[in-house]
Structure 1
Amino acid sequence: MGDVSLAAAEYPGEGPPVVLLHGIGSRGVSWWPVIDGLTPFFHLYVLDLRGHGDSSTPAAGYDGADYVGDLEQALDGLGLERPRIIGHSLGALVTLAWASLHPARAAALVLEDPPLRTVPRTLELFDEWIALAAMPPAAVAAIYQKRYPAWSAEERARRAASITGTAPAVFQEARARAERTLRQQGEHLVSLSRRLPPTLLVSGDVTAGGLLAPADADLFAATVPRAEVVQFPGAGHSLHRELPDEFLAAVVPFLQAAG
């Protein structure tokens, strides 16, 4: 992919290919709670986005178009013609932007809690992520222990390693342009989405940390002809980790039904 190399993990399974894209400050291994539930039905390809995990970390180049170009080249490199794609947060925005440009290339999409237009909360999160990413992993894990006592020590360590292992420019560039462009980007993406393949929009609860406002989910459902919306009251932003069984119950039948 030019000067950028993306890390990909393959999980051979039964059925058609599914590509999974993680959120900002995370990495492909964040999908581990649902891998075993997906492989009986699908052949999985789990990517690390640029600046994350084991992928290249260029000093700059974290615009939406950069991520979209990476996804396009990754699909070409893997020889995937009509995959199903599951994207979380940033990964959902990348998936949505890519599919808006190439509506015939994907069989179906699952968009997990994308922050389409929730600018104030998103900016707060960028500030928090920038601060956390600059800390030692042990310090971040200690913060997570107080904030999320239900997480296991392994989960705290995994998430701390993910955010501290993300290229600082990922957060810095995103924060610098978010206030100026995020709302317009969300509205623009929704306007481009009328030709999308079947799309499942999965949202959490904004009162519990979800980033997809109910009004935005309603707008998406009203705008995109083949869209379905599943909401999880009381759940936060990372549904596949918080409620893996419920997430799978919604996602697997939807992807199986896609042509």
Structure 2
Amino acid sequence: MHGHRRAYVVAGEGPVLLLLHGLGCDHTTWAPVVQALARTHTVIAPDLLGHGASAKPRADYSVGGYANGMRDLLTVLGVDKVTVVGHSFGGGVAMQFAYQYPERTERLVLVASGGLGPEVTPFIRAITTPGFHQAIGAVTLPGVRHAVVGTLRLLGQVPTSHTRDLGEIAAILDTFRDPRARAAVRHVVRHVVDWQGQVVTMADRAYLTEAMPMLVVWGTEDRVIPASHAANAAVLAPRARVELVPDAGHFPHKDHPERFVAILQEFVATTRPATYSRARWRRYLTQGPAASVAQAEAGSRPVRPTPLPRGPRAVRAARGA
């Protein structure tokens, strides 16, 4: 598209789930859940521009640019509407997609998402500093890279909350051996993070999510973006469902894939797809957050973040079904 290679996988049949990966990852981050989700849905998992097997040009790496790219990919594939699921940076892209293209968004699912608070791991903030590109280039030289990546993977196998995500960080670091991938990630991060933390936020537009079902999933032991941001989501979007997954880090869909699939399938099965109304969207934009908050308070009771019991039946029980 637009002269650049775009890689993606498609699996299954049924209503469409668009799965968007996080920074430095690719579509394989969803591998533990794709097969189960594809039994009831069409699953589309792209490699975002600058990641995986997609091209890594000098291009627009803003969240808006990524949202445009997802619109174009869906158009090429002949898909009109999706439930968009975004992990980490992909959550920011998912929010932007829902904001820019509400007529094409049925539901919004955020998994350990960016855009819900300033805090973020120092490693990501470091990407914005001068000299990072050169420093990582040195770290990813063949001998050094093997030692560093191997050490991180070994530490990632230590069963503590502080080391849980080190294996995933090792995989991301391994991709940085490609200077084009390093440059792309640097451009991405500079759009959304500075030395103080995240600068892109959904806070000023969260009220617009009242127009569509929204689910937030977070691991209680996330050390990349703190789980407290799930509580931020509950405040910003009072009608959103919030699920905290115990004994999970920044990748709850990989730490507990069966539990993640149960949460997502239950959410889709018990919510109606959003229907776009230009008049309603105009009313939201004109009246601002106060009107939607009042509507939320008059509507259904907000769902509080609670640890998820095991199994689909326990999920339904937690909902009071």
TM range (shorter): 0.7 to 0.9
With over 3 angstroms needed to count, the CA separation of the structure-2 counterparts of 1:211 and 1:248, relative to structure 1, is: same
In structure 2, what is the Cα distance between the partners aligned to 1:58 and 1:175?
Answer: 16
With over 3 angstroms needed to count, the CA separation of the structure-2 counterparts of 1:191 and 1:118, relative to structure 1, is: closer
Q: Per-residue displacement from partner, 1:188-233 (whole Å, max 9, x unpaired)? A: 465363344211111122x54251442x323322333541110123
Task: Please give the secondary structure, in 2, of the residue aligned with 1:119.
Answer: coil
Q: Per-residue displacement from partner, 1:138-159 (whole Å, max 9, x unpaired)? A: 34530332321269xx989865
In structure 1, what is the Cα distance between the partners aligned to 2:55 and 2:211?
Answer: 30
**What percentage of residue pairs aligned between the two structures are identical?**
27
With the length of structure 1 as denominator, give the TM-score of the two structures.
0.83
Q: Which of 243, 246, 256 is residue 243 of structure 1 equivalent to?
A: 256
In structure 2, what is the Cα distance between the partners aligned to 1:226 and 1:78?
Answer: 32
With over 3 angstroms needed to count, the CA separation of the structure-2 counterparts of 1:99 and 1:140, relative to structure 1, is: farther
* Segment drifting more, 19-28 vs 58-67: 58-67
In structure 1, what is the Cα distance between the partners aligned to 2:50 and 2:204?
Answer: 23
Mark the runs of 5 or more structure 2 residues left unpaired by the alignment.
Answer: 159-163, 274-321
Task: Please give the secondary structure, in 2, of the residue aligned with 1:246.
Answer: helix
Look up the match of 2:181. 167
Q: Higher relative CO (CA 8 A, sep ≥ 6), structure 1 or 2?
A: 1
The residue type paired with residue 239 of structure 1 is P
Task: Please give the secondary structure, in 1, of the residue aligned with 2:84.
Answer: strand
Q: Which has the higher helix share?
A: 1
With the length of structure 2 as denominator, give the TM-score of the two structures.
0.69
Matched, 1:191 2:190: no
Q: Per-residue displacement from partner, 1:236-258 (whole Å, max 9, x unpaired)? A: 11111111111111111112334
In structure 1, what is the Cα distance between the partners aligned to 2:183 and 2:216?
Answer: 28
Q: Which of 148, 157, 173 is residue 149 of structure 1 equivalent to?
A: 157
Matched, 1:7 2:7: yes
Task: Assess if the C-alpha contact under 8 Å between 1:100 and 1:195 holds in 2.
Answer: no
* Segment drifting more, 83-92 vs 49-58: 83-92
Look up the match of 1:48. 47
Mark the runs of 5 or more structure 1 residues left unpaired by the alignment.
Answer: none
Q: Per-residue displacement from partner, 1:100-142 (whole Å, max 9, x unpaired)? A: 1222311112110012244343443353796667514634530
Task: Please give the secondary structure, in 2, of the residue aligned with 1:26.
Answer: coil
Look up the match of 1:102. 101
With over 3 angstroms needed to count, the CA separation of the structure-2 counterparts of 1:181 and 1:80, relative to structure 1, is: farther
Look up the match of 1:138. 146
In structure 1, what is the Cα distance between the partners aligned to 2:204 and 2:88?
Answer: 14
In structure 1, what is the Cα distance between the partners aligned to 2:176 and 2:239?
Answer: 34
Matched, 1:218 2:226: no
Look up the match of 1:254. 267
Q: Tell me the CA shift for residue 95 of structure 1.
A: 0.6
With over 3 angstroms needed to count, the CA separation of the structure-2 counterparts of 1:117 and 1:228, relative to structure 1, is: closer
With over 3 angstroms needed to count, the CA separation of the structure-2 counterparts of 1:161 and 1:33, relative to structure 1, is: farther
In structure 2, what is the Cα distance between the partners aligned to 1:20 and 1:198?
Answer: 16
In structure 2, what is the Cα distance between the partners aligned to 1:164 and 1:199?
Answer: 37
With over 3 angstroms needed to count, the CA separation of the structure-2 counterparts of 1:189 and 1:17, relative to structure 1, is: farther
Look up the match of 1:67. 66
Q: What is the correspondence of 1:9-48 to structure 2 with a 5 Å cutoff?
A: 9-11=9-11, 13-48=12-47
With over 3 angstroms needed to count, the CA separation of the structure-2 counterparts of 1:254 and 1:66, relative to structure 1, is: same
